[in-house]
């Protein structure tokens, strides 16, 4: 399916500033999502058999993935004597492949049979989870094992994610794409509600090894779904040069400013906002003293909110301006995350993470929907690989920075560069509010600094993004660079 643009639609120009650099966003003022008639099914994407199969398989598989994420973070935190910096190294081992490799994964996804490629990535992930389980049961598990398997798993995901993202528009008609993308988001966020809670409850009972093995078994759900899918579309693969194959996504994004700045906004949100999850073991174990069960509850709270946001987006009947929803949800995310970091009580913090989850899902779904609707089908894998970097890779890359910042800001007398952010926090009374936490005060301080940076970017770019709106049904013609 090729995204097209109507000749009758006038282009409007809005000006915004991104990190102090003036930029122009070409937005279509008259683009609107069509009103859905009252008789239409609330979740129309689930009426398409192939989409329902892959959606169900991903829901099970992602539950296992979340359980493994909990086991990995908790295991490396305990194996290293509660050193938060190793949580950052864990994030970095995941981030490196997810930042570098997705463009290659997107290129491959646009040139080969996407179903066969998913067979390979899902089977490889199954084998890695099995390896972790065997190492844990044998008592041989070491921090470097966790870092290595995380790196290898992210390498597979760098091919898997753009392949799955670019497959979705081939499984549903264009008018059901927003619904399909929202439900696709729910497979991960819904699993984030159940998976961490189960992992937190089971971690002390059966140990990390069984969580790794449960994740290995969960990949069979996706493999089984792929096996029984039928009547799959065979999109035409146009021959392209090596340059276009490798850099087509970059070139398209550079030429189309709306796509470029949506990717940049997603990247900044990943670095300054969504990297907070890597510090949750510090909050659970050292600040609120609620152990692995509390850690699972914190992850589940974010998952619960994300699930609410995903189903709310999938059932919405009309969105007149995606840009306004995007900006509002981004600012709500910042406010709720800041309140979470400063909360002295565990259960109010859990409730705030529910709000964080809702806002984050609405924010990312709006970005993904606009990109999917505007990018031609033959380029979708490559452009969505860039989005995968911002959605999955950069939060983990940011986790190393936030972990290092947390360690520096938690020192009794910060040294060097850490003095400057501490002066800012002191001016905002954050330093005094977190001083009771001692060396663990660095975690909430680091999150607050990230939130402040993201909120400033959103406020600066809001005039440009407020006018963004894209049609899901209007006939369109391909944009020219």
Least confident of 12-16, 82-86, 171-175: 12-16
For the residues of 333-350, what is the DSSP string, one character each? Answer: HHHHHHHHHH-SSHHHHH
- Flag the least confident range among 135-144, 282-291, 414-423: 414-423
- Other beta carbons less than 10 A from residue 234's beta carbon: 7
The yes-or-no verdict on residue 276 having pLDDT over 50 is yes
pLDDT digits (tens, 9 = 90+) for 376-409: 777 777 787 788 788 877 877 777 777 777 777 7
Task: State pLDDT tens for residues 103-135.
Answer: 888 888 877 888 889 999 999 999 999 999 999
Q: In the chain, what are the domain boundaries? A: 44-229+241-465
10 pLDDT more than 60: no
* Residue range 148-153: mean pLDDT, rounded: 94
Contact in structure between 334 and 458 (CB atoms under 8 Å): yes
Q: To 5 degrees, how large is the angle CA 204–CA 210–CA 213?
A: 155
- pLDDT band, residue 211 (cuts 50/70/90): very high
In sequence order, the 6+-apart residues with CB closer than 8 A to the CB of 163 are 105, 108, 109, 114, 117, 118, 121, 381
pLDDT value at residue 356: 93
Please tell me the least confidently modeled range out of 150-164, 214-228, 260-274, 362-376.
362-376
CB 14 within 8 A of CB 321: no
Instruction: Specify the pLDDT at position 317.
Output: 58
User: What was the pLDDT predicted at 427?
Assistant: 63
Averaged pLDDT score across all residues of the chain: 77
Per-residue pLDDT band for 367 (boundaries 50, 70, 90) equals confident
Please say whether the beta carbons of 248 and 381 come within 8 A. Answer: no
Which stretch of 223-237, 258-272, 288-302, 447-461 has the lowest confidence by average pLDDT? Answer: 223-237
- Better-predicted residue by pLDDT, 481 or 293: 293
Residues 209, 133 contacting (CB under 8 angstroms):
yes
Q: Are 276 and 5 in contact (CB under 8 A)?
A: no
Q: Which of 119-123, 153-157, 325-329 has the lowest mean pLDDT?
A: 325-329
Please, which pLDDT band fits residue 429 given cuts at 50, 70 and 90? low
CB within 8 A of 138, min separation 6: which ones?
none
The predicted structure's pLDDT at residue 337: 94
CATH T-level topology, domain 44-229+241-465: Growth Hormone; Chain: A; (1.20.1250)
Instruction: Decide if pLDDT at 11 tops 80.
Output: no
Q: Record the pTM.
A: 0.66
Regarding predicted confidence, which is higher, 351 or 474? Answer: 351
The pLDDT score that the predictor gives to residue 218 is 93
Using pLDDT thresholds of 50, 70 and 90, give the confidence band for residue 166: confident
Instruction: Report which of residues 96 and 31 the model is more confident about.
Output: 96
pLDDT digits (tens, 9 = 90+) for 54-96: 888 988 898 898 889 889 988 888 888 777 678 778 878 888 8
Task: Say if CB 218 and CB 61 are below 8 A apart.
Answer: yes
For residue 79, give Cα distances in angstroms to 70, 139, 257, 274: 14, 12, 46, 25
Report the 3 state secondary structure along 125-140: HHHHHHHHHHHHHCCC
Confidence label for 168 from pLDDT (cuts 50, 70 and 90): confident
304 vs 11, more confident = 304
For residues 374 and 159, the model is more confident at 159
User: Which pLDDT score, from 0 to 100, does residue 110 have?
Assistant: 78
Token pair belonging to 180: 């399909």
């Amino acid at each position: 399916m090729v995204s097209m643009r109507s000749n009758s639609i006038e282009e409007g120009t809005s000006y915004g500033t991104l990190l102090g650099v003036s930029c122009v966003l070409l937005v279509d003022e008259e683009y609107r999502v069509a009103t859905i008639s009252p008789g239409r099914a609330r979740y129309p994407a689930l009426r398409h058999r192939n989409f329902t199969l892959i959606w169900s398989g991903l829901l099970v598989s992602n539950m296992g993935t979340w359980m493994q994420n909990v086991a990995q973070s908790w295991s490396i935190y305990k194996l290293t004597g509660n050193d938060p910096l190793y949580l950052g190294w864990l994030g970095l081992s995941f981030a490196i492949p997810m930042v570098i490799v997705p463009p290659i994964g997107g290129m491959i996804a646009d040139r080969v049979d996407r179903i066969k490629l998913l067979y390979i990535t899902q089977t490889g992930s199954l084998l890695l989870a099995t390896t972790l389980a065997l190492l844990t049961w044998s008592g041989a598990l070491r921090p470097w094992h966790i870092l290595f398997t995380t790196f290898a798993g992210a390498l597979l995901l760098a091919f898997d994610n753009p392949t799955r993202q670019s497959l979705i528009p081939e499984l549903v008609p264009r008018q059901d794409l927003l619904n399909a993308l929202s439900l696709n988001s729910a497979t991960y966020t819904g699993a984030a509600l159940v998976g961490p809670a189960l992992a937190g409850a089971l971690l002390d009972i059966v140990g990390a090894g069984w969580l790794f093995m449960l994740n290995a078994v969960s990949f069979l759900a996706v493999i089984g779904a792929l096996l029984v899918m039928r009547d799959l579309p065979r999109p035409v693969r146009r021959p392209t040069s090596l340059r276009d194959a490798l850099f087509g996504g970059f070139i398209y994004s550079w030429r189309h400013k709306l796509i470029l700045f949506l990717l940049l906004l997603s990247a900044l949100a990943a670095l300054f906002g969504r990297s907070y999850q890597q510090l949750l073991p510090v909050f659970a174990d050292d600040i609120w003293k609620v152990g692995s069960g509390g850690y699972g509850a914190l992850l589940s709270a974010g998952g619960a909110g994300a699930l609410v946001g995903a189903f709310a987006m999938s059932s919405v009947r009309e969105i007149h301006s995606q840009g306004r929803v995007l900006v509002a949800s981004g600012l709500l995310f910042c406010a709720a995350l800041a309140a979470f970091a400063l909360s002295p009580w565990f259960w109010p913090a859990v409730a705030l993470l529910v709000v964080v989850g809702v806002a984050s899902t609405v924010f990312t779904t709006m970005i993904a929907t606009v990109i999917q609707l505007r990018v031609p089908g033959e380029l979708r894998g490559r452009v969505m690989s860039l989005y995968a970097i911002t959605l999955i890779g950069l939060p983990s890359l940011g986790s190393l920075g936030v972990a290092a910042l947390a360690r520096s800001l938690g020192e009794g007398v910060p040294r060097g560069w850490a003095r400057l952010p501490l002066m800012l926090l002191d001016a905002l009374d954050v330093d005094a509010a977190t001083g009771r936490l001692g060396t663990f005060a660095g975690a909430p301080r680091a999150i607050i600094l990230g939130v402040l940076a993201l909120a400033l970017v959103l406020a600066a770019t809001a005039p440009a993004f407020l006018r963004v709106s894209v049609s899901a049904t209007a006939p369109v013609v391909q944009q020219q660079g």
